Amino acid sequence: MTFSLSAKRASERVEVWRHLKRIGTLSLGPSGYLLPITPASEEKFEWLAASIRRYKGQALVIQVNSITDLTDEEIVRRFVDARSRDYAKLIADFRALKQKAKSSTQLTRFRRRFQEITAIDFYDSPLRSRAESLLARAAGPPAGASSKSERRKTKFQNRIWITRPRPGIDRSASAWLIARFIDPAAKFAFAADAKSFRDAVPFDMFQSGGFGHRGDDCTFETLRKEFAIRDAKVATIGEMVHDADLDDGKFGRIEGSGLDRVLIGWARDGVPDDELLRRGMQLIDGVYHSLS
């Protein structure tokens, strides 16, 4: 969308600018703004253009197939970078709160901010998973979680295990742990809501039941403890995953951060979810065999 509006319309110009920011546009200059080509994007621009014309301004909604000196990959990268900055600000603000100050009202406010960002996260920023996990951890144990006495391996054989799209270090490592020590015949699926797959076992799902962050533990640590996996090398990997996923320096392990960056790089390259998970599981398996 391109538009012009008189400088005398200062308050209206601010209103338009805020609206453009809220719907996630990419600025291409002082009066050009971009959104991915979708019916929803077109509708948002048309409504905004109508408002600008009511303010005695001019506005055009144009479908652009290419931009000189700006590749599709560069455009996508700019969208991803913009949302990554939003997620990074959310994470920093959330961590700045003292633990005791994190009331249910504040958690609700941060979840609302998170949802506003995800609504305009058109190309899946790698930081989405980090922000999502942080909020899920703050919410405490998921509702309806069964006690340890109910966690029997016999109940978790030949199951579909479901998690969120764009798996990072915690979900990749957790899938490896499931396949190697819990359910060798496990199949993995991806969805934003666990209800999408009936009878599937959720892990690291935002605001869903199943296995996830518990207290100070990441999902990998929760699974290890729930299924009483006492392998010393698994415990070491758990420390790496914890420090990389929660970024709290609890164990002083830096190895997991490198693995996490590799997964983020693959995600930015558009590697599909199932392939991203497979590669992540291979990385963790390599780490496991490298430990003495």
Tell me, yes or no, whether 168 and 279 share the same domain.
Answer: yes
Residues 187-198: tens digit of each pLDDT = 999 988 877 788
**Does some domain include residue 249?**
yes
Residue 66 domain-assigned?
Answer: no
What's the mean pLDDT when you consider all of the chain?
87
**For residue 139, what pLDDT is reported?**
61
Question: Please, where are the H alpha helices in 184-248?
Answer: 219-226, 232-246
Q: Is the pLDDT of residue 264 over 60?
A: yes
**Total domains, the chain:** 3
Phi and psi for 238 in degrees, rounded to 5?
-60, -40
pLDDT over 90 at 232, yes or no: no
Residue 143 lies inside a defined structural domain of this protein:
no
Task: Answer whether residue 102 shows pLDDT above 80.
Answer: no
Range of the domain at 283: 148-290
Tokens (6 digits) for 58: 């001019």
Q: How much is the pLDDT for 208?
A: 58
Residue type, position 131, single letter: A
For the segment 102-114, the average pLDDT, to the nearest whole number, is: 79
For residue 252, is it left (φ>0), alpha (ψ between -120 and 50) or beta? Answer: left
Q: How confident is the model at residue 50 (pLDDT cuts 50, 70, 90)?
A: very high
Which tens digit of pLDDT belongs to each residue from 7-20?
Answer: 888 999 899 999 99
Rounded-to-integer distance, Cα 120 and Cα 115, Å: 9
Q: Are 259 and 253 in contact (CB under 8 A)?
A: no
138, 166, 196 — which closes off a domain? 138
How much of the chain exceeds pLDDT 90, in percent?
51
